[in-house]
Each structure stands twice: as structure tokens, then as C-alpha cells.
């Protein structure tokens, strides 16, 4: 059997009818509506393999994602399927794509600055850290066509742009904007169009105007664009993403096909039913009824606790009940020669998700006392990549030879403190530039490191409970999911005067609920201390949108103060 035939025979293995249709529809526009747990990444990767199997040169295929995490997953799965040929497919974030386009076709000898360096520059221009943060946000929105420039911003904006130009720097937004400008009014727009003959875009519901325009420039005359996503999981409107792009796709790229993946392989019927009830209350959507392939499953639990501390304690109790009640976690997780991958109580199977990072505090305190190992994702956590980037930068500043610096970076990949995922990313970057002269390779590596530097700290292998926001949880799944603070004001979030986008908030809760495979527990507190003040809190109105047959309600009663505690109050 030829290599091509071998690939083709593997491509359809285990795919359902809709997934297969998405894979074989290679010509013209294709919209793949992929709800949670419907095998979206699997379908994309198989489609990539199918294209290559059909003889499309891998370097003419583009697969864009939003996050490095998604790109890395896609890369790994493609390489498994295609081997070395997969390496030639461009798989990466929008920003990496922009960076490569600039380096290959427009300009060399520039550096990419991350958000931190951007605010450093702005600090000098505005004279205040807080102002600089605000200004960085605004400049980013202006460059992304999300906001118009106003009079009070103009001076700082121009000064900032001058600084970048003089020092040959590009910020993240430039990585989209510069190639876009070259393509939209450049004479060689046609040559860009011919670079990729097949384009796939992941999470299409989250693209913003700049990214949309960039895509339009890249799509060839044959119109081979495959957009994959789920309008019900659009949760980034606040940073300029526009679900409209997804909803308008068919009008936008006429003559195409729409495939809806309906089989959900992740969640129990109950969890999917409850989630569908909720999202059914949105109006701006594409109607799609998902079907749970799995078993019925237990009812979802809604727990009302007196306050956020009791809420956290209730969560701990639920976890302990599921791990089998042992309190010797250290012993359990550290037991040599034992494999907990299939143990129904491994802590990596649990996640606690919330709307705001501030909620993590109460949870952390209670968890800490319980001895349950946990990892908090996001917030501020700096990742290992950052350490390497700093290290390399220091070498450069010391004026070391470019080749030596690269060697040092490669050495650092072997550091035990670097996580498996980071190591894979680093190794990949370094090997991508290995064939270039050291100096060029070094700038390339540094620039790509900048794109990774904020990194996400989620380690799926850690034997620990995961704490994260609803936003960060997107794309992940866990056996047991807790959503804490399902209260009016938190989910949906309302901030004083600010008008709340109820549909977006509903989608956010939908994303959270659909992370769960077997067990879903929604918790709320009747009193929550916010900014030092204890305020009464009502359950989320979204809970009323879930059919009662899916729900089991539990109430944790108010703490009865012991006489001793009452006495204490006197002093």
C-alpha cells in the first residue's frame, strides 16, 4: 500500500457520517458547526490528513487557531497521523501566521514585543502604570479596528507608534495589521492569495474584524476555506470577537456547504439536556440539536450554601465523597507503581470553574486546609517559556554569539523544570529555524518565544484539581465539574452601571456546563462578601431555564453559632 493510500484508509476510521462529510468536502467554502464534545479537533486533523492524502502539498495547507494550546494539540495529532509530512502544514495562531508572513515576504530584522514591554513603553509616555495599562488596551482596540481613535489618545498613540518604528518593534496587533495592510493595498496581493490553497480556521466564532479581513485576503479564488466553530460558545465579544462572522459565513462565502456535527461524545444525556435547555433561551444562534452518545448519567446537583466559605466546603465534601473518602492524599497520589489514570477519583478529573478570578481565594483557602492538591490556571502565573525567553534575551544583551545563544536555548529545553508541553513548543520553534543562519534564526526564535511568553499554566497531567475561570475552561473537559457562584450578578455578571450581554453570559455558563463528562455540580452562596461588604445574593436566573427533571437541589443550612462563638463576639 502506498503512503497515500495508507493515510486515506486511516482518515475515516471511527468517524460518524457528518464528520466524514466535513472531511471529504475539500472544494469551496465549508462551515462546520461543531458543538461541544462533537469531535471538532479530530475532524480538523483528519481533514488535514485527507487533503495531504489526496496529494495537496502540505505547505499549501493552513490551519489557524487562536491559542497556542489549541495549535499544539492540533500539531501533535497531525504529526501522529501524518508523520514528517505533517510538519510542513502550517499549524499555528493568527499571530504566528502574521509573524511568518512578515518575516518571509515583507521585512526582517525586527523584534516582537509582548504586552509587558508594550506597557513599559507606554509608562514612559503616559507617566503611570495604571494609565499605561489602560492605554495599551485602547491602542490594541484601535489597531484591531474595534475602536476609533479619539483626541485624547492621539498624541500618545502617535508617540508610541514612533517609538516602535524607530526601534524596529512590532506589537502583537501589528502582526495582524502589517500583513493585512500589505495585502489589502499591496501590488503583490495575488502572491499572498496563492500561498495557501486550503485554509482551515478553528473557533471561527471568535475571530475579530482584523482577523476576518486577513482571512479574506488569504483565501484563494477557488474559495477553499473551512471554518469550524460553535456560535453558542462565542465568549470573547468583550475583546472584539464578533459571532456575526460565523452566522454570516454562508452569505459571506457563497456557494458553500454547511455541516453540523450533532453527536456529542463527551457529556451524559442529563448534562447535555440541561445545557441545551439553557442555551435554547438564546435567540442569536444556529439551531442545532445535539445528541448525547453516552449514558443518561446522574442528575446535575445544585447546591445552595450560606456563604462562599460554606460553598467551598461543600465542594470539598463532594470531591472527598467521590475520591473514596481517604484523607491520605499524599499517599494516594504518591504511591509508587500505581496508575491512577483510570481511578475514578484521580484529582485531575475534577475542575472548579468560576466567573471571576476573585472567587478563587475562598476556594484556595478551604482546599488548602483539606489537603487536596490543586492548580490554579491563569490569573497571573508566569510559565516556563517566559523563563527561557528571559534567559535568551540576557544572553543576547551580553553580546554573545548568535549560534551560542541558540545552543543555550536548546540546552534549556532539557531543564527538568520545563513542563512537557513547553518543551515540545520550544523544541518545535528551534527546529523550525535550524536551517537559517544563526542570526536570523535567533530573531525568529525570539519573536516566536514572545508569542508564547504569557503561556497557560494548565498541566493536564498533574494529579491535581484544576481551578479556573469559565473563559479559560473553554476547550477542556473533566469527569466532574463544579461551577461556583452560579448567582445573579456573577453569572450573569453585572457590574454596577454596565449593561450585561445576557446572551454572552448564557453562552459562558453553557461553555462551563458542557466541560463535564459525568458529573456537574452548580453551587451558589446566599451571602457573598464582596469588597469587604457582605451582600445577599440570589441564585442565577439561568437556573430557572434548566428543566427540573435534570436537577437535584440541595441546601446547606446556615451555620448555627455555638454558645462559645456567640460569647466570643462580646470581646
- The residues that touch DNA, with contacts defined as CB under 7 A, are 66-69, 93, 95-96, 114-115, 128-131, 137, 140, 172-173, 238-239, 355-358, 378, 451, 454-456, 468-469, 471-472, 493, 495, 498, 500, 529, 531-532
State the minimum distance, in angstroms, from the CB of residue 358 to DNA.
6
Q: What angle separates helix 172-185 from helix 94-101, to the nearest 10 degrees? A: 60
The answer to whether 239 touches 207, Cβ cutoff 8 Å, is no
Left if phi > 0, otherwise alpha if psi is -120 to 50, otherwise beta: which for 40?
Answer: alpha
State the minimum distance, in angstroms, from the CB of residue 401 to DNA.
28
The answer to whether 293 touches 66, Cβ cutoff 8 Å, is no
State the minimum distance, in angstroms, from the CB of residue 19 to DNA.
25
Of 31 and 426, the one with the shorter C-beta distance to DNA is 426
Q: What angle separates helix 438-452 from helix 94-101, to the nearest 10 degrees? A: 160
The CA distance from 230 to 324, in Å, is: 37
State the minimum distance, in angstroms, from the CB of residue 504 to DNA.
7
**DSSP codes joined into one string, 68-119:** HHHHHHHHHHHHHHHGGGGGGSEEEEHHHHHHHHIIIII--S-EE--HHHHH
- Adjacent-strand bridge partners of 30: 226, 257
The CA distance from 6 to 415, in Å, is: 38
The CA distance from 486 to 223, in Å, is: 44
The answer to whether 314 touches 303, Cβ cutoff 8 Å, is yes
Of 68 and 540, the one with the shorter C-beta distance to DNA is 68
State the minimum distance, in angstroms, from the CB of residue 158 to DNA.
21
Q: Is 441 exposed, middle or buried (0-12, 13-18, 19+ CB in 10 A)?
A: buried
Scanning the structure block, which residue is given the C-alpha cell 445545557? 275
Q: Is 165 exposed, middle or buried (0-12, 13-18, 19+ CB in 10 A)?
A: exposed
State the minimum distance, in angstroms, from the CB of residue 142 to DNA.
14
Q: What angle separates helix 209-218 from helix 172-185, to the nearest 10 degrees? A: 40
Of 30 and 362, the one with the shorter C-beta distance to DNA is 362
State the minimum distance, in angstroms, from the CB of residue 555 to DNA.
26
Left if phi > 0, otherwise alpha if psi is -120 to 50, otherwise beta: which for 187?
Answer: alpha
3-state secondary structure of 362: helix
Of 395 and 474, the one with the shorter C-beta distance to DNA is 474
3-state secondary structure of 258: strand
State the minimum distance, in angstroms, from the CB of residue 293 to DNA.
29
Of 30 and 522, the one with the shorter C-beta distance to DNA is 522
Q: How many helices (H) and strands (E) does the chain have?
A: 24, 18
State the minimum distance, in angstroms, from the CB of residue 71 to DNA.
7
Of 126 and 260, the one with the shorter C-beta distance to DNA is 126
List Cβ neighbours of 324 (8 Å cut-off, separation of 6 or more): 345
Of 173 and 311, the one with the shorter C-beta distance to DNA is 173
Q: How far is CA 239 from the centre of its chain?
A: 14
State the minimum distance, in angstroms, from the CB of residue 138 to DNA.
12
Of 85 and 506, the one with the shorter C-beta distance to DNA is 506
Of 264 and 454, the one with the shorter C-beta distance to DNA is 454
Of 64 and 183, the one with the shorter C-beta distance to DNA is 64
Q: Which of 468, 559, 479 is nearest to 520 (CA)?
A: 479
Of 326 and 500, the one with the shorter C-beta distance to DNA is 500
- Adjacent-strand bridge partners of 528: 535
State the minimum distance, in angstroms, from the CB of residue 67 to DNA.
3
Of 113 and 274, the one with the shorter C-beta distance to DNA is 113
Of 467 and 521, the one with the shorter C-beta distance to DNA is 467
The CA distance from 516 to 267, in Å, is: 6
The CA distance from 405 to 225, in Å, is: 40
The answer to whether 287 touches 280, Cβ cutoff 8 Å, is no
State the minimum distance, in angstroms, from the CB of residue 569 to DNA.
15
State the minimum distance, in angstroms, from the CB of residue 368 to DNA.
15
b/e string for 42-72 if b means 16 or more Cβ within 10 A? bbbbbbbbbbbbeebebebbbbbbbebbbbb
Amino acid at each position: 500500500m502506498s503512503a497515500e493510500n495508507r493515510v486515506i484508509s486511516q482518515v475515516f476510521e471511527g468517524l460518524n457520517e457528518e464528520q466524514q462529510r466535513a472531511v471529504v468536502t475539500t472544494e469551496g467554502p465549508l462551515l462546520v458547526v461543531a458543538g461541544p464534545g462533537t469531535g471538532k479537533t479530530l475532524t480538523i486533523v483528519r481533514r488535514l490528513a485527507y487533503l495531504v492524502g489526496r496529494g495537496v502539498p502540505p505547505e499549501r495547507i493552513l490551519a489557524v487557531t487562536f491559542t497556542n494550546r489549541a495549535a499544539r494539540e492540533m500539531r501533535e495529532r497531525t504529526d501522529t497521523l501524518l508523520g514528517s509530512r505533517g510538519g510542513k502544514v502550517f499549524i499555528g495562531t493568527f499571530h504566528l501566521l502574521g509573524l511568518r508572513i512578515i518575516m518571509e515576504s515583507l521585512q526582517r530584522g525586527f523584534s516582537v514585543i509582548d504586552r509587558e514591554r508594550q506597557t513599559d513603553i507606554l509608562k514612559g509616555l503616559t507617566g503611570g502604570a495604571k494609565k499605561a495599562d489602560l492605554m495599551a488596551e485602547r491602542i490594541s482596540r484601535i489597531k484591531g479596528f474595534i475602536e476609533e481613535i479619539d483626541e485624547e489618545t492621539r498624541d500618545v498613540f502617535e508617540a508610541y507608534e514612533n517609538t516602535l518604528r524607530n526601534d524596529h518593534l512590532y506589537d502583537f496587533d501589528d502582526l495582524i495589521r502589517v500583513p493585512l495592510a500589505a495585502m489589502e493595498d499591496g501590488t503583490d496581493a495575488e502572491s499572498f492569495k496563492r500561498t495557501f490553497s486550503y485554509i482551515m480556521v478553528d473557533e471561527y466564532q471568535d475571530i475579530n474584524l482584523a482577523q476576518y479581513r486577513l482571512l479574506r485576503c488569504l483565501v484563494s479564488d477557488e474559495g477553499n476555506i473551512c471554518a469550524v466553530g460553535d456560535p453558542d460558545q462565542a465568549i470573547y465579544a468583550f475583546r472584539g470577537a464578533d459571532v456575526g462572522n460565523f452566522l454570516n459565513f454562508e452569505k459571506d462565502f457563497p456557494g458553500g456547504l454547511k455541516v453540523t456535527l450533532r453527536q456529542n461524545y463527551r457529556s451524559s444525556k442529563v448534562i447535555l439536556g440541561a445545557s441545551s435547555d439553557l442555551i435554547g433561551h438564546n435567540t442569536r444562534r444556529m439551531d442545532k440539536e445535539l445528541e448525547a452518545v453516552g449514558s443518561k448519567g446522574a442528575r446535575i446537583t445544585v447546591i445552595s450554601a450560606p456563604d462562599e466559605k460554606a460553598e467551598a466546603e461543600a465542594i470539598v465534601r463532594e470531591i472527598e465523597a467521590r475520591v473514596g473518602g481517604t484523607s491520605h492524599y499524599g499517599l494516594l497520589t504518591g504511591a509508587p507503581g500505581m496508575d491512577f489514570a483510570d481511578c475514578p477519583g484521580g484529582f485531575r478529573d475534577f475542575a472548579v470553574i468560576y466567573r471571576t478570578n476573585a472567587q478563587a481565594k475562598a476556594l484556595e483557602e478551604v482546599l488548602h486546609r483539606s489537603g487536596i492538591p490543586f492548580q490554579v490556571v491563569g490569573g497571573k502565573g508566569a510559565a516556563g517559556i517566559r523563563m527561557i525567553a528571559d534567559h535568551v534575551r540576557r544572553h543576547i544583551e551580553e553580546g554573545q554569539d548568535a549560534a551560542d545563544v541558540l545552543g543555550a536555548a536548546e540546552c534549556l529545553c532539557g531543564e527538568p523544570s520545563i513542563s512537557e508541553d513547553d518543551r515540545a513548543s520550544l523544541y518545535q520553534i528551534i527546529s523550525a529555524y535550524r536551517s537559517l543562519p544563526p542570526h536570523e534564526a535567533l530573531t525568529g526564535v525570539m519573536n516566536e518565544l514572545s508569542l508564547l511568553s504569557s503561556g497557560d499554566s494548565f498541566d493536564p497531567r498533574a494529579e491535581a484539581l484544576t481551578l479556573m475561570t469559565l473563559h479559560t475552561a473553554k476547550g477542556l473537559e473533566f469527569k466532574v465539574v463544579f461551577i461556583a457562584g452560579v448567582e445573579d450578578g456573577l453569572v450573569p455578571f453585572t457590574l454596577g452601571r454596565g449593561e450585561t450581554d445576557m446572551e454572552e453570559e448564557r453562552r459562558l455558563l453553557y461553555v462551563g456546563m458542557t466541560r463535564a463528562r459525568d458529573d456537574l455540580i452548580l453551587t451558589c452562596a446566599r451571602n457573598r462578601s464582596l469588597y469587604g461588604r457582605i451582600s445577599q445574593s440570589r441564585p442565577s436566573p439561568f437556573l430557572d431555564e434548566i428543566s427540573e427533571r435534570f436537577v437535584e437541589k440541595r441546601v446547606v443550612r446556615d451555620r448555627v453559632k455555638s454558645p462559645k462563638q456567640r460569647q466570643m463576639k462580646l470581646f
